Structure 1
Amino acid sequence: MFELLTRILLWALIGIILWRIFLNVIPRIYLTWLGGLLIFTFVILAFINPTDDTVGAVWQILSIPLKPLGLALLLLLSALRSGLKAVVGNQVMAAALILLFSSLPLTAYWLTSQSERSAQAFATNDNVPALTAADAIVVLGDSSGLLDSSYRTRTELDEDGISTSLSPRLLYAARLYRDAGTNPLVIVSAGLQDREGEDTGEVQSIINLLAGMGVPSNRIEIDSESAGARTSAREVAEILEDQGLGDDASVVLVGSAINIRRASSTFAQLGIETIPRPTDFSILAPPGSEDFQLRIADFIPSVEALALTTRVVDEYLTSIYYFLRGWLSNPMGI
């Protein structure tokens, strides 16, 4: 009951915040009932099919005020509404500070290290089952929910024709397969379809890579449709059922350190016990640790730092969305 009430209040708060932001940026005359109806229609579609390309594109627009760069740009545009001679200084200052702090490497390192250290502690928890207890190893892709899946067409590929973010996870999964010693199933759930719903060339490349690393081809399953943790969990549940592993199956979850906690909670909400194995750590020596050395460069804004900060903010937003949808087994533990 407390969780449901929290969801309702959070939905209302988000709606009020977005409405106030749009009122300050878009002239009231354009915010007609028709515009409200369109936004309401989008919300309904997001509930029915959150991975649809159109829903993803609209979400990218509506979430602009929730991200550092988008919020700064909106504040600047709002400050210029009355012309250059009547610039609102407070909004310009706020936009500058948001961009400055979001682009500082030190800020990006701190935010990312918080997520990654939390993921490391989560993976080494005493309650996590042993690797030998796993019935399957699941490799997750990067899509996190309400995203435009067409981004994959612009993803950099390595020499094997596999996205550079997915390739290290596959190598890690192959190593885990050898260490398990129990011949677990290896499931790659990475959203490998193009805009037309056809499998990309990555599918065969993934099979070849895993097979070359010692994973038998008959123990490899490819889920090319999933574009988020929720859809991955559903598809993996179906694959496990087809393989006769039932409801008591335990899976090793290989994914980005930034979103592994949300992914594990999503799988658990569907009754799948997970053994989290985070990868893709961005911070080797987090701020505050003995190995971290403060440099002048850490106080110089950079595009890379802004991208890293935005990635963490994206994960926060997606976790909130998953909570609002009731897709997490332990929301307070994320």
Structure 2
Amino acid sequence: MLFLTLTQLIFLTLIVWLVWRVVFRPGKEGDASGGSAGGGKYRPRDYLAWLGALIVLLAVILALLTPNNGAVVQVWSVISLPLRPLGLSILLLLFALMGIKKGAITKDAENYIKITTALLLFFSIPIIAFLMVQLIESDSIAALQIAPYRRDKVDAIVLLGQATTQQPFLEANQIHLTDAGDRILQAAAEYRQQLRLGNDAFIIVSAGPRPGQRLNPNQPNPAEAFAIANVLKSLGIPASDILIEPTGLDIRTSAEAIKRKYVDEGIKRVILVSSALNMQRARQTFAQLGISTIPSPASFYTFQAGGVPKIIFTSTQKDRCDTISVTFRNAREVQFSDFMPNVDSLLLSTRVINEFWSSVYYFLRGWLSTTVDPIPVPPNIKC
């Protein structure tokens, strides 16, 4: 709830600032658009700002109504550029360049350069990037630690498989995994665990066509779910236990398709396999559609090389194996290099910010449930 309230405040503040900037900023003394000295209400460029604001408003409305429209996605990728550290830095540098004339620099341009430098430094520092990631992945870390103690039997295992494989261009039979491909391995491990528990579970693979790719101009692009199914088969999962959902382009469309196709068949509780970074948003999306989920996160950024994760270490007390001692500590010592900016940390920070704005969008659309099933704490270890 704190995240949602903070999101509302930030969004409302942004709207108020934009309205003031575009509408209520007075013209300078002697402005030609005012007709007389000191009487101008708008400067000529303010009318251009109105046009730009109208275009942005229309793009936002279209993004809310048709989020998966190809043209809307392309326009939004340009408009949302200032919402990311690198995009905002480039925009500020462009403003600064306009303030450099005849070898002199204006005070505003100087401030733009200072802000840009601070932004790039802040979001490029490794320890800050990993702390941001750890804040978002904290629930997923807890879910990972409880996984060895889980004995839940579920109706199905749902794998959100978008962007886990690459399109093979040279050899059709080849399958290439992306850095998110461990989700497939995670789903296979959950399937085997359900078999060990005596549960005849199956895997629902949700992944639509890869965006922006067209191998044959005369045929639609095949869904990525079919390639993922081939990987699962190579891992020993029977084809009869793999269900293909070929329309999911993102978390919401996947959840809607699964609800539409499988909920009526009795699927109410599932193990959800997705990225640790978006697991909380995924669980809230499924909960809003009435599907209870057990998180099974993968693709952790917290545990990448260079990360300083704070994790739970458990150990039995001496001569007493019926209790557990729990301590929180860093899994790696902080080093000097953790404070040296690099491009990988900037990318990681950008992914965190993208997830933040995605959560804002889902919240504004009413796609997030305010309550999800809590993640249980690890039980006591018995002798």
Q: TM class, shorter-chain normalised? A: 0.7 to 0.9
Instruction: Report whether the alignment pairs 1:277 with 2:307.
Output: no
| Residue in structure 2 matched with residue 149 of structure 1 by the alignment | none
Which amino acid is 1:30 matched to? Answer: L
Q: Structure 1 residues 310, 5: CA separation in 2 closer, same or farther (over 3 Å shift)? A: closer
Which amino acid is 1:171 matched to? Answer: L
As a proportion of its length, which structure holds more helix?
A: 1
Point out the more displaced range, 164-173 or 286-295.
Answer: 286-295
Q: Structure 1 residues 190, 198: CA separation in 2 closer, same or farther (over 3 Å shift)? A: same
Query: TM-score w.r.t. structure 1 length?
Result: 0.81
SS at match of 1:31: helix
Which of 168, 171, 175 pairs up with 2:182? 168
- Pairs within 5 Å for 1:149-228: 160-181=174-195, 182-195=199-212, 198-200=220-222, 202-228=224-250
Which of 119, 123, 141 pairs up with 2:140? 119
Asked whether the equivalents of residues 225 and 245 of structure 2 are also in contact (C-alpha less than 8 Å), the reply is: no
Q: Structure 1 residues 62, 14: CA separation in 2 closer, same or farther (over 3 Å shift)? A: farther
* 1:68 CA drift (Å): 0.9
SS at match of 2:330: coil
Which amino acid is 1:114 matched to? Answer: L
* 1:31 CA drift (Å): 2.0
| Residue in structure 1 matched with residue 380 of structure 2 by the alignment | none
- Structure 1 gaps, min length 5: 144-151
* 1:51 CA drift (Å): 1.6
Q: Structure 1 residues 225, 14: CA separation in 2 closer, same or farther (over 3 Å shift)? A: farther
| Residue in structure 2 matched with residue 31 of structure 1 by the alignment | 49
Greater Rg by CA: 2
Total equivalences in the alignment? 316
Which of 334, 349, 367 pairs up with 1:327? 367
| Residue in structure 2 matched with residue 303 of structure 1 by the alignment | 343
The 1-side partners of 2:79 and 2:133 are apart by 24
Point out the more displaced range, 173-182 or 44-53.
Answer: 44-53
Instruction: Report whether the alignment pairs 1:15 with 2:15.
Output: yes
The 2-side partners of 1:31 and 1:5 are apart by 30
Asked whether the equivalents of residues 167 and 175 of structure 2 are also in contact (C-alpha less than 8 Å), the reply is: no
The 2-side partners of 1:105 and 1:333 are apart by 33
* 1:316 CA drift (Å): 0.8
As a proportion of its length, which structure holds more strand?
A: 2
| Residue in structure 2 matched with residue 95 of structure 1 by the alignment | 116
Q: Structure 1 residues 97, 142: CA separation in 2 closer, same or farther (over 3 Å shift)? A: farther
Which of 105, 112, 120 pairs up with 1:86? 105
Instruction: Report whether the alignment pairs 1:104 with 2:148.
Output: no
Point out the more displaced range, 83-92 or 321-330.
Answer: 83-92
Asked whether the equivalents of residues 161 and 205 of structure 1 are also in contact (C-alpha less than 8 Å), the reply is: yes
SS at match of 2:228: helix
Which amino acid is 1:276 matched to? Answer: P
**Aligned CA-pair RMSD:** 3.6
* 1:13 CA drift (Å): 3.4
* 1:216 CA drift (Å): 1.8
SS at match of 2:308: coil
Between 1 and 2, higher relative CO (CA 8 Å, sep ≥ 6) is seen in 1
| Residue in structure 1 matched with residue 154 of structure 2 by the alignment | 134
- Structure 2 gaps, min length 5: 26-43, 311-328, 375-383
The 2-side partners of 1:122 and 1:73 are apart by 38
The 2-side partners of 1:41 and 1:154 are apart by 37
The 2-side partners of 1:90 and 1:332 are apart by 44
Which amino acid is 2:291 matched to? Answer: I
SS at match of 2:248: coil
Q: Structure 1 residues 99, 10: CA separation in 2 closer, same or farther (over 3 Å shift)? A: closer
- Pairs within 5 Å for 1:209-248: 209-241=231-263, 244-245=265-266
Point out the more displaced range, 308-317 or 278-287.
Answer: 278-287
Instruction: Report whether the alignment pairs 1:75 with 2:92.
Output: yes
The 1-side partners of 2:168 and 2:336 are apart by 33
* 1:160 CA drift (Å): 4.3
Which amino acid is 1:136 matched to? Answer: A
The 2-side partners of 1:102 and 1:8 are apart by 23
Q: Structure 1 residues 82, 28: CA separation in 2 closer, same or farther (over 3 Å shift)? A: farther
